[in-house]
């Protein structure tokens, strides 16, 4: 990160501290802080705006994946239990197997949803620390998208 970046318009913070606030996973600080910095900072403060956009994209991705795994956790057993009920007329063993697979799917997607939630918190904490230590990290895919959204390709 270049040392000659100006202080932020919002709060007169050093840019790396503003970027750290964008990722701080504490009572939605990262979410509201990112929105404030994204809206209030001028286009010349691309560093802060890019981190605000990247934080919002990371949060949206995290929430979306968690919701997906929770839906799969509830839908998978229902589908397999219905298939098992239909197949139990043909073979009781096959029907029982399908019901067992459905319950296993519920457990599997529940574990994945918990791991996904943990991974989101760890990602936000890691980005908070990296930003506070003046490291400019662009996440794969999300970093490039955030840079294009705010017009900061540099």
User: pLDDT digit string (tens) for 13-52?
Assistant: 899 999 999 999 887 888 999 999 999 988 888 889 999 9
Q: What is the model's pLDDT at position 94?
A: 83
pTM of the predicted model as reported, rounded to 2 decimal places: 0.83
Poorest-confidence range of 54-63, 90-99, 107-116? 90-99
**Residues 7, 82: Cα–Cα separation, whole Å:** 60
**Torsion on CA atoms 130, 133, 137, 139, rounded to nearest 10:** 10
Across residues 70-90, what is the average pLDDT?
A: 85
**Mean pLDDT over residues 77-83, rounded?**
86
The band of 138, judged by pLDDT with boundaries at 50, 70 and 90, is very high
Q: What angle do CA 21, 23, 24 make, to 5 degrees?
A: 65
For residue 54, pLDDT over 90 is answered with yes
Q: Which two tokens stand for residue 108?
A: 């599997």
**Per-residue pLDDT at 99:** 82
């Amino acid at each position: 990160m270049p040392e000659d970046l100006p202080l932020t318009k919002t709060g007169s913070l050093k840019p790396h501290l503003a970027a750290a606030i964008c990722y701080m996973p504490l009572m939605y600080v990262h979410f509201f802080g990112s929105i404030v910095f994204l809206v209030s900072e001028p286009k010349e403060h691309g560093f802060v705006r890019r981190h605000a956009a990247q934080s919002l994209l990371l949060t949206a991705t995290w929430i979306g994946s968690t919701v997906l795994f929770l839906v799969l956790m509830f839908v998978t057993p229902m589908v397999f239990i219905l298939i098992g009920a239909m197949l139990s007329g043909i073979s009781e063993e096959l029907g029982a197997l399908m019901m067992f697979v459905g319950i296993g799917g519920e457990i599997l997607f529940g574990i994945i949803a918990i791991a996904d939630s943990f991974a989101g918190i760890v990602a936000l904490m890691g980005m908070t620390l990296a930003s506070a230590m003046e490291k400019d990290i662009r996440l794969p895919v999300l970093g490039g998208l955030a840079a294009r959204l705010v017009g900061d390709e540099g």
